[in-house]
Structure 1
Amino acid sequence: MNLLVVLALVGPWPAVAAARRLADLLPPKAAGLVLAGAAVALAGATALALAVLVGGGLLHLPQMAAAGRMSLPWLVSTSPAAVPAALAAGTALAVAARLAARRWRGQQALLRRTWEAVDAHPVGGDLTVLPDAAADAYALPGHRGRPGRVVVTAPMLQALGRRERDVLLAHERAHLAGRHHLLSRATRIASAAHPALRGLRAPLAFHLERWADEDAAAAVGDRRLAAAAVARAALAASDTGRREGLLLAAATGPVPRRVRALLGPAPRVPRGRALRVAAAGLLAVVAFSVMLSVGSAYELHEYVEQARSVVRGR
Structure 2
Amino acid sequence: MTLVLAVVMLTMVLPWAAVPATRRLAVLLPPREACAALTGAALLLAGGTVAALIGLFHVPFLASLEQIPLSRAAAEWPAIVPVAAVAGAVLAFQAVLLVRRWYERRSMLARAWASTGDAVPDGDFLVVPDSEPQAFALPGWRGRSGRVVVTTGMLKTLGPAEREVLLGHERAHLTGRHHLWSVTAYLAAAVHPALRPLRPALDFHLERWADESAASAVGDRRLAATAIARGAGRRVRREGGQGAWPLAVGEYRAGPAAGRSPAAAGPGQAFGPQDAGGRGRTGDGGDGLRPAGSGAGVRTPRVRGVRRSGPPG
**Whole-angstrom CA distance in 2 between matches of 1:115 and 1:109:** 10
Q: In structure 2, what residue type is equivalent to 1:96?
A: Q
Q: In structure 1, what residue type is equivalent to 2:15?
A: P
Cα 1:42/1:140, change in 2 over 3 Å:
same
Structure with max Cα Rg = 1
Q: In structure 1, what residue type is equivalent to 2:90?
A: A
1:27–1:267 Cα contact (<8 Å) kept:
no
SS of the residue 1:51 aligns to: helix
For normalisation by structure 2, the TM-score amounts to: 0.78
For normalisation by structure 1, the TM-score amounts to: 0.77
Q: In structure 2, what residue type is equivalent to 1:251?
A: R
**Whole-angstrom CA distance in 1 between matches of 2:31 and 2:134:** 24
- Report matched runs for 1:57-72 at 5 Å: 57-58=60-61, 65=64, 69-72=67-70
Residue 20 of structure 2 is matched in structure 1 by 17
Cα 1:241/1:129, change in 2 over 3 Å:
same
Residue 135 of structure 2 is matched in structure 1 by 137
Deviation at 1:266, TM superposition (A): 4.0
SS of the residue 1:262 aligns to: coil
Aligned partner (choices 45, 49, 52) of residue 48 of structure 2: 45
Cα 1:31/1:159, change in 2 over 3 Å:
same
2:165–2:214 Cα contact (<8 Å) kept:
yes
Deviation at 1:71, TM superposition (A): 2.0
- Report matched runs for 1:96-245 at 5 Å: 96-234=94-232, 237-242=233-238, 244-245=245-246
Cα 1:80/1:102, change in 2 over 3 Å:
same
Deviation at 1:53, TM superposition (A): 0.9
Deviation at 1:263, TM superposition (A): 2.8
SS of the residue 1:138 aligns to: strand
1:206–1:254 Cα contact (<8 Å) kept:
no
Cα 1:23/1:265, change in 2 over 3 Å:
farther
- Choose 206-215 or 123-132, whichever is displaced more: 123-132
Q: In structure 2, what residue type is equivalent to 1:147?
A: S
Deviation at 1:165, TM superposition (A): 0.9
Q: In structure 1, what residue type is equivalent to 2:36?
A: L
- Choose 68-77 or 190-199, whichever is displaced more: 68-77
Cα 1:142/1:126, change in 2 over 3 Å:
same
Residue 29 of structure 1 is matched in structure 2 by 32
- Alpha-carbon displacement from aligned partner over 1:229-269 (angstroms, at most 9, x marks no partner): 111112xx4554356121321216864642x2433444579
Segments of 4+ in structure 1 off by > 6 A? none
5+ residue gaps, structure 2, are 239-243, 271-313
Q: In structure 1, what residue type is equivalent to 2:146?
A: G
Residue 55 of structure 1 is matched in structure 2 by 58
Deviation at 1:70, TM superposition (A): 2.5
SS of the residue 1:144 aligns to: coil
Residue 303 of structure 1 is matched in structure 2 by none
Cα 1:265/1:16, change in 2 over 3 Å:
farther
Alignment identity in percent?
Answer: 48
Deviation at 1:137, TM superposition (A): 0.6
Residue 251 of structure 2 is matched in structure 1 by 249
Q: In structure 2, what residue type is equivalent to 1:42?
A: L
Greater helix percent: which structure? 1
SS of the residue 1:202 aligns to: helix
5+ residue gaps, structure 1, are 270-314
**Whole-angstrom CA distance in 2 between matches of 1:10 and 1:267:** 39
- Report matched runs for 1:267-306 at 5 Å: none
**Whole-angstrom CA distance in 2 between matches of 1:238 and 1:24:** 23
Q: In structure 1, what residue type is equivalent to 2:53?
A: L
Deviation at 1:22, TM superposition (A): 1.2
**Whole-angstrom CA distance in 2 between matches of 1:267 and 1:53:** 49
Q: In structure 2, what residue type is equivalent to 1:51?
A: I
**Aligned pairs, number:** 261
**Whole-angstrom CA distance in 2 between matches of 1:153 and 1:34:** 34
Aligned partner (choices 7, 17, 27) of residue 10 of structure 2: 7
Q: In structure 2, what residue type is equivalent to 1:241?
A: R
SS of the residue 1:263 aligns to: coil
Q: In structure 2, what residue type is equivalent to 1:37?
A: G
SS of the residue 1:150 aligns to: strand
Deviation at 1:146, TM superposition (A): 1.3
SS of the residue 1:146 aligns to: coil
1:187–1:201 Cα contact (<8 Å) kept:
yes
Residue 85 of structure 1 is matched in structure 2 by 83
| RMSD of equivalent CA atoms | 2.1
